[in-house]
Structure 1
Amino acid sequence: MNCIKWKLVFLFCALVNGVFMTGVVAQTVVDSLKQVLRQPSLTPEEQVLTRLKLSRALLSHDHKEALANAQVALAMSRSLKDSKYAAQSHSSLVSLMFGQEDVKIVRLQLDSAFALAEQSGDPLTLENVWYRKGWLENRTGKPHDAVKSFQQALKYGAGHPPNSFETSIYYNLSSIYADWDDLENQSRYAFASLDASRRFPDPDDMCNAYQAIGGSYEHRFAADTSARKLLDSSLYYNRAAIAYYQQNKNRISFPSILGLVALNTANLYAAYFPRSYRDSALHYLDISLEIGIATDQQEIIASSYGMMSSFEIADGHYDRASALLLKGLETLQRSTSPDNNVMAHFMSSLSEVAEKKGDLAAALNYSREYNRYHAAVFDAEKMSIAKRLEAQYQTREREQQLSALQEKAAFNKKLNIVYVILIVACILLLLFLFRAYHFRLKSTMQQQALLEKEKQDAVLHMRLKEEETRTLELQKQEADLQARLKSEEAARLQVEQQLIQAQKEQLQKDLLAGTLQVEQKNELLQTLQEKLAAKSGEGNIVGQITRMIDQHRRMDEDFETAKTVLENVHPEFFSRLQQKAGNTLTRLDLKHCSYISMGLSTKEISSRMGVAPKSILMSRYRIKQKLGLGKEEGLDAYLMSIVQ
């Protein structure tokens, strides 16, 4: 017999019992929860949650009390407004009833949990229920469905505060992938479990996470025994789990898992280290034995004795080995329901030791006991398989019933749609008849209104004709008035043209008079020049007078040119100036404006008018004010615009 066989036996026990619960050590946690329940200020919601925690702590120690607390929590939750508390209570009953009740009853609890969780809509409650569904599927031989349920639970928990369910989900996923030999995912979910437990520091979750990581390194090392670092890592995390347990012993609710870790650590030393490391193996066997005794876990105690006996067998100490095996067997027999598989293994080991000791009769007896327990194991396995098949059959039957109900619901839905269509058709028909009656009534009323309107239209038509006759008379009168206005306007224009012509003729007369005056002046100047020429002795004075006379002649020649321009002056030039100035322009102002319009400079105008240039500038400023021109507007430009 070797050490690995004892490890496999213990792992089988762990798988059968699910999660190891506490006996004596957990009593501290149970007492603390009971003390919380005695607080008078505790709300009903807090009482429900506390009782659920208490039932979890009591699961293995006192299953009956654990179930009673969960049922009390369920009864209290039914009076609460939020259905999430009832959903959590049903979910807790799934784990409490599993193995004790028919799977069908357990599934009914799960269905109730789902219905209430959906009603509440609370994401963390939905995460709880989906986790419990995966947990049940994993224990009823449906690991693939369990993985899907666990993943769905993680989706509901995403983005919410960390909780214990997240750690348990990763722990279970790591275990499933370990069974499938998917070492990569086993390791990934084991580390995810540790990360989640650090964010939600629950002592039990931390121990489970360390154990899961240690197990993942052990599996990887078993696949490649040359990688000793993997073995060291497995031992490191196993030690970390044991050290964490020893530091938080009073806060651990389920210390039995540490018995598995210690037993597994001892097996690693026995299987992969030289005989000189046997003391280390025995050290961890002592720890597993201590935890087994403290928690009253007969499987841990028996497995510890069994592994110790394997060391004695290897050393040839058959009597010591037999004594240790008998101690383990005695421990198992004290259990109310010892595991047949473990009992068969012990009988096989005792038969082997007795045979080596030469006690063939004892070996035969132990061998017979082995066969009996092995047959019981076989029967139990057959029963388990039968139950599993029955559960699968019930599941399929339930799915078929569900499918039939869905088909019936679909048929009823279609039938309801037909009924609705018929009702709608009847309503539409009634509406059509009502509308038809209403339309006929409305048509009759409209015809009466139309006849009345035609009478009113006839009266209005007559009035309209009378108004049109009056309008025609008014238009005729207006046309006569327009004709008169046009004739008066033509007469006014003719008078204005005559006035302009008269002004033009007067201007021509003035020009002619000016011309005659200039001719007379020229003759006078000619006579004066001749007389001055006769007095040539006074050359300087004569020269000045002669130049003056020449200058006046040139100005007269310019005047002859300007006269031709003035003959073509715009007829409305003076009238528009007076209109602009409000008839305030004097005759001298008009003459000044005429010179400016001819393009004469200030000096030329001052010479013609016989005044100083400064007076001309003052006269220009006065004319600009009378015309109302701004500072920016020029007088020359304005007068030129009138001429043009």
Structure 2
Amino acid sequence: MKYLVLKSVIFLVVMFLGSFMANAQTMLDSAALGNLSEKDKPALLTQLAERSRIGGDYQAAVTRAKSSIGLALKFKNDEEATKAYTVLVNVYANTNQFALLKKTADTALTVAQRSRQPIALAYAYFAQALFYNAIDNNEQVTKYCQLGLKALEKKYDAYIIAKIYYQLYALNTRWDDVKNINKYARLAVENALKTTDYNLQSNGYIALSVAADYNYAGTKKEVFRDSIIYYLNKAQSLYLQYPKYVARKTYGIACINSADYYLRYFSDTDGRAKDNAIRYASMANEVMKGALNGEELRASGLGILSEYAKRDKNFVMAEAYLQEAYSLMKNQKVPYYYTLINVVNALSNFYEQQGNYEKALEFQKKATEYNSRLFAEKKTLNAQKLEVQYEAEKKNNEVKLLKQREKYARQQKYLYIGIAIASVLGLIFMFRSYHFRLRYSLQREKQLHLEKQDAELQMKFEKEEQARLKAEQLLLESQQQQLQKEVMANQLQLEHKKEMLFQIKEKLSYNHQLNINKIWNEELLLDHDFEEAKFQIQQVHPEFFSQLNQRAQQKLTSLDLKLCAYLHLKMDTKKIAQLMHIEAKSVRMSRYRVKQKLGLNKEEDLNLFLQNMV
């Protein structure tokens, strides 16, 4: 008993601190909002709107979301505007405002499509999923959730992915699809843990506890039963650690589920399970006191406490708990008939068991009355849902029709464009064909011109080659002539030496006292003169002897050529006679004979003719 009292004291302290910190956080958020520029306010306003929504303060959520939308659209921040529209959609879904719900969801989609941003589209698709979930169109919920996940393949956002997976988890609980319940609950938690949204994480852990409950119901394995309370404890720990970020309602649900877990799965004799169930039910009752729309959870907690009071035969407390729950539910502005009917039925059964049939009948009548009201409410809601669904389908059909017309118009447009393109292509083909033929003709003409140029170049190269060969031939002939000249000059010298030796021999035979030294010196002098003459003839006029031979009408002898060479060098008759060792008279005779061989007239001077040869 002391343990329970101590726990209750600690819990009340935590609650007080949580409430104080929440108020402090609200002031801090307001201060932070005041310090931001208008351009930066939409993001914080959207976060505050979502926090108000999960706290049950729908009016504040709508006000903040609309302020965020106004500023975001002013600065053309379509992504943030879509996020704020999604918060409004969630509020309208929670409050069954179907007309506003549809309109806001469509507006969010229009804004997101205009932005073409993946995250904005994901939020808009999530908003559509919330709308169709509210009107019980499960097929469309699945469709838009999948579209949202596909949009996020381009740009990752853990928060909205976790939201989408949580929606898919909730959808599959309607069908008791255990496999998908486990799958989507796990994916929701994995992505929620990558965010700093602790309320989202807490809801994810509650989803995992529900999945474990399904697993235990199907297998009866204790590991799954233990997992239920494990995940619920993690959800509760988040609230105790971050009370300003986790909604009291989320924490209250975790506590109620924990109490219900011990009530359903443990025997009446298990004292520890009983203590835990009472503790969690009491915590849920305390945490929801003063909370907006917290009566349902408080009534559920009181119902569990009443059940344990009946087990302990404490019928006074059992009745008191049920009466308190009935008072809470009855005084709601908008009664939640499901819980109210459960409480009234519990009271009717309690009084019937106690033998108080009058009160049992009274509460049974109330149960019938509330069932009638619930039926009427459901009927009204279903009518509204059907009306909205009809309008949605009508609009969707109109959109499909418009899209189909647009498709036909686009196909017709494509057909006309195709015909135009085909015509243009035909004209282009004809032009290209003409252009190709013209280009081919020009190219052919150019090729022929190039071939002609190549032929001319080839001819030029051949002529140049012939000229080069001719030049080489002339050079060889020149070299040959030069050699012939050298041979002729050497022959002249040799003949002169031979004649000199012959003269020396004759002189020696007639005069034994001949002065050899004198003759040798004279000969050296003559050799020098001859060498000089030979050099001048070869260097100044190398073709001299060949031209003489060509001009001569009769063949010139070596002595003739020698005489011509001396005359060309302007030597007088005396010197020529000394060089040739003949008389001057013989030189004159030789000149006359050469003149005749060269075909010169009597008037022409042989000396001038030879000296002018160049």
Identify whether the pair has TM-score above 0.5, normalized to the shorter chain.
yes
Structure 1 position 80 matched with structure 2 position 49: no
Moved more, 411-420 or 76-85: 411-420
- Residues 251 and 95 (structure 1), Cα distance of their counterparts in 2 relative to 1, 3 Å cut: closer
- Name the CA distance, whole Å, in 2 between partners of 1:103 and 1:360: 43
Residue 376 (structure 2) aligned to one of 379, 403, 415: 379
The equivalent residue for 2:230 is 236
The equivalent residue for 1:285 is 281
After TM superposition, the structure 1 = structure 2 runs for residues 84-483 of structure 1, keeping only pairs within 5 Å, are 84-98=79-93, 100=95, 102-158=97-153, 160=155, 162-225=157-220, 227-252=221-246, 254-275=247-268, 276=270, 277-296=273-292, 297-410=294-407, 412-413=409-410
- Name the CA distance, whole Å, in 2 between partners of 1:244 and 1:191: 17
Q: Give the match's secondary structure for 2:74.
A: coil
- Residues 415 and 58 (structure 1), Cα distance of their counterparts in 2 relative to 1, 3 Å cut: same
- Residues 27 and 398 (structure 1), Cα distance of their counterparts in 2 relative to 1, 3 Å cut: farther
- Name the CA distance, whole Å, in 2 between partners of 1:405 and 1:260: 46
Q: Give the match's secondary structure for 1:137.
A: helix
The equivalent residue for 1:31 is 27
Q: Is the 8 A contact 1:30 1:54 kept in 2?
A: no
- Residues 97 and 427 (structure 1), Cα distance of their counterparts in 2 relative to 1, 3 Å cut: same
What is the CA-CA distance between 1:371 and the residue it aligns to? 0.4
Q: Is the 8 A contact 2:98 2:385 kept in 1?
A: no
- Name the CA distance, whole Å, in 2 between partners of 1:220 and 1:427: 69
- Residues 62 and 24 (structure 1), Cα distance of their counterparts in 2 relative to 1, 3 Å cut: farther
- Residues 150 and 263 (structure 1), Cα distance of their counterparts in 2 relative to 1, 3 Å cut: same
The equivalent residue for 1:66 is 61
- Residues 303 and 379 (structure 1), Cα distance of their counterparts in 2 relative to 1, 3 Å cut: same
Per the normalisation by structure 1, the TM-score is: 0.59
- Residues 412 and 376 (structure 1), Cα distance of their counterparts in 2 relative to 1, 3 Å cut: same
What is the CA-CA distance between 1:92 and the residue it aligns to? 2.5
- Residues 85 and 235 (structure 1), Cα distance of their counterparts in 2 relative to 1, 3 Å cut: closer
Q: How far does the alpha carbon of each residue in 1:483-540 deviate from its partner, in whole angstroms, 9 at most, with x for none? A: xx9xx99xx9xx99xx9xx99xxxxxxxxxxxxxxxxxxxxxxxxxxxxxxxxxxxxx
- Name the CA distance, whole Å, in 1 between partners of 2:230 and 2:422: 78
- Name the CA distance, whole Å, in 2 between partners of 1:214 and 1:293: 25
What is the CA-CA distance between 1:418 and the residue it aligns to? 8.7
- Name the CA distance, whole Å, in 1 between partners of 2:147 and 2:26: 32
Q: Quick one: which amino acid aligns to residue 86 of structure 2?
A: S
Q: How far does the alpha carbon of each residue in 1:298-341 deviate from its partner, in whole angstroms, 9 at most, with x for none? A: 00111111111122233433332211100111111232111122
Q: Is the 8 A contact 2:93 2:130 kept in 1?
A: no
Q: How far does the alpha carbon of each residue in 1:266-288 deviate from its partner, in whole angstroms, 9 at most, with x for none? A: 11111111222211111111111
Runs of 4+ displaced beyond 6 Å: 22-25, 414-428
- Residues 230 and 121 (structure 1), Cα distance of their counterparts in 2 relative to 1, 3 Å cut: same
The equivalent residue for 2:467 is none
What is the CA-CA distance between 1:37 and the residue it aligns to? 1.4
Q: Is the 8 A contact 1:332 1:343 kept in 2?
A: yes
If asked which structure has higher relative contact order (CA below 8 Å, sep 6+), I would say: 1
Q: How far does the alpha carbon of each residue in 1:380-408 deviate from its partner, in whole angstroms, 9 at most, with x for none? A: 22223323322332222112211232244
- Name the CA distance, whole Å, in 2 between partners of 1:23 and 1:103: 33
Q: Quick one: which amino acid aligns to residue 128 of structure 1?
A: Y
Question: % of aligned pairs identical?
Answer: 20
- Name the CA distance, whole Å, in 2 between partners of 1:418 and 1:283: 75
Q: Give the match's secondary structure for 2:235.
A: helix
What is the CA-CA distance between 1:27 and the residue it aligns to? 4.4
Q: Give the match's secondary structure for 1:185.
A: helix
After TM superposition, the structure 1 = structure 2 runs for residues 581-596 of structure 1, keeping only pairs within 5 Å, are none
Q: Quick one: which amino acid aligns to residue 103 of structure 2?
A: L
Q: List runs of 5+ in structure 2 lacking aligned partners.
A: 1-17, 432-469, 489-614
Q: Is the 8 A contact 1:55 1:70 kept in 2?
A: yes
What is the CA-CA distance between 1:364 and the residue it aligns to? 1.1
- Residues 343 and 186 (structure 1), Cα distance of their counterparts in 2 relative to 1, 3 Å cut: same
What is the CA-CA distance between 1:99 and the residue it aligns to? 5.2
- Name the CA distance, whole Å, in 2 between partners of 1:115 and 1:373: 41
Q: How far does the alpha carbon of each residue in 1:142-163 deviate from its partner, in whole angstroms, 9 at most, with x for none? A: 2332233223222333464544
- Name the CA distance, whole Å, in 2 between partners of 1:415 and 1:180: 46
- Name the CA distance, whole Å, in 1 between partners of 2:27 and 2:182: 36
Q: How far does the alpha carbon of each residue in 1:555-592 deviate from its partner, in whole angstroms, 9 at most, with x for none? A: xxxxxxxxxxxxxxxxxxxxxxxxxxxxxxxxxxxxxx
The equivalent residue for 1:518 is none
